[in-house]
Amino acid sequence: VKVAYTLPENVTDGVLHLLDNNGREINQYLIDDHTNHLALDVTKFSSGIYHYFIEFQNTKTPSKKLIIQ
């Protein structure tokens, strides 16, 4: 699954936080401005609704939904 993201200008890296539907953190992924997506291997995840947000320079983006079937 490709998770698209955009970092603001002058931000070179950040952390994508993946949460389950209960708000528990599943994993963290380091991201950077060299690409606009994260290739996420979801084969080990249960089907369901997940959420993710990006954190950079003490700022958190609004949460987005990711549905895995």
> Could you tell me the pTM of the whole model?
0.92
pLDDT at position 35 is 92
pLDDT per residue as tens digits for the range 20-68: 999 999 999 999 999 999 999 999 999 999 999 999 999 999 999 999 9
pLDDT at position 56 is 96
pLDDT per residue as tens digits for the range 1-26: 999 999 999 999 999 999 999 999 99
**Long-range pairs for 43-48 at CB < 8 Å and ≥24 separation?**
48/20, 48/21
pLDDT at position 42 is 92
